[in-house]
Amino acid sequence: MEARNMADSVQLRVNGRLIAVPAGTVLAAAIAVAGVKQFRRSVSGQPRTPVCGMGVCMECCVTINGQSRQRSCQTLCEPGMEVQTDD
């Protein structure tokens, strides 16, 4: 996060809850900060959270602004984002 950005915060909604994070926060991190324990529910019902952190494993996929299966580890938080996990 750039120094000049530290003061800037971004507001977004995760599972309906409004949160604020510093600008430059990756969405996966914001979701973790919001206390979400499960990004994705696996095919057999296990809770999953990000693993590879680089857009490969797809465990961090969430619904962003209505578009499902988006990689939260490759996405920066933007003001007004609506995020839904499998929680």
Partner 1 sequence: MTSRIHKFEIVVVGAGPAGLAAACLAAENGQRVGVLDDTPWLGGQIWRGEQHKAAQPGAQQWIKRFRRSGATLLDQTSVIASLRPGELMAEHPSGARKIYFQKLILATGARELLLPFPGWTLPGVMAAGGLQSLAKHGWPVAGKKVVVVGTGPLLLAVADGLKKYGAQVVSTAEQAPLSRVAGFGLKLLAHPGKILQGIGIKSRLMGVPQRFGVWPVRAEGDDQVRSITLTDGRKTWTEECDLLACSFNLVPNVELPLTLNCELRDGFVRVDEWQAASAENIFCAGEPTGIGGADCALVEGQIAGLAAVGRKEQAKPLFAARSKWHQFRAAMLAAFALRPELRRLAADDTIFCRCEDVTFGRVKQFSTWRDMKLQTRCGMGACQGRTCGAAAQVVLGRAMESVRPPVLPARISSLMAISSD
Partner 2 sequence: MNKSFDIIIVGAGIVGAACAAACARGGLKVLVVERGHIGGGVTAAGMGHIVVMDDSEAQFSLTHYSRTLWQELRPQLPDDVEFDPCGTLWVAADDEEMTEVRRKEKFYSERGVRVEVLDSKGVAKAEPNLRSGLAGGLRVLDDAVVYPPCAARFLIEQAQQHGAEFRGGVEVQSLLAEGGVQLRDGSRISAGHSVNAAGACSPALSPGLPVRKRKGHLVITDRHPGYVHHQIIELGYLKSAHSISKDSVAFNIQPRKTGQVLIGSSRQFDAEDAGVEQQILERMLHRAAEYLPSIGNLSATRVWTGHRPTTPDKLPLIGPSSGSDRIWLATGHEGLGITTSTGTGQMLADLLLGKTTAIPAAPYAPARLANGGAQHG
Binding-site ranges for partner 2 (CB under 8 A) = 43, 67-69
In terms of CB distance, is 17 or 51 closer to partner 1? Answer: 51
Q: Which does 47 bind (CB under 5 to 8 A by kind): partner 1, partner 2, none?
A: partner 1
Whole-number minimum distance, CB 58 to partner 2, in Å? 9
Binding residue count for partner 1, defined by CB under 8 A: 41
Partner from partner 2, partner 1, none contacting 25, C-beta within 5 to 8 A by type: partner 1
| Distance from C-alpha of 9 to C-alpha of 66, rounded to nearest angstrom | 23
Burial string for 48-85 (b: 16+ CB within 10 Å, else e) reads bebeeeeeeeebbbbebeeeeebbbbebebeeebebeb
The interface partner of residue 6, options being partner 2, partner 1, none and the CB cut-off 5 to 8 Å by kind, is none
The C-alpha atoms of residue 80 and residue 16 are separated, in whole angstroms, by 11
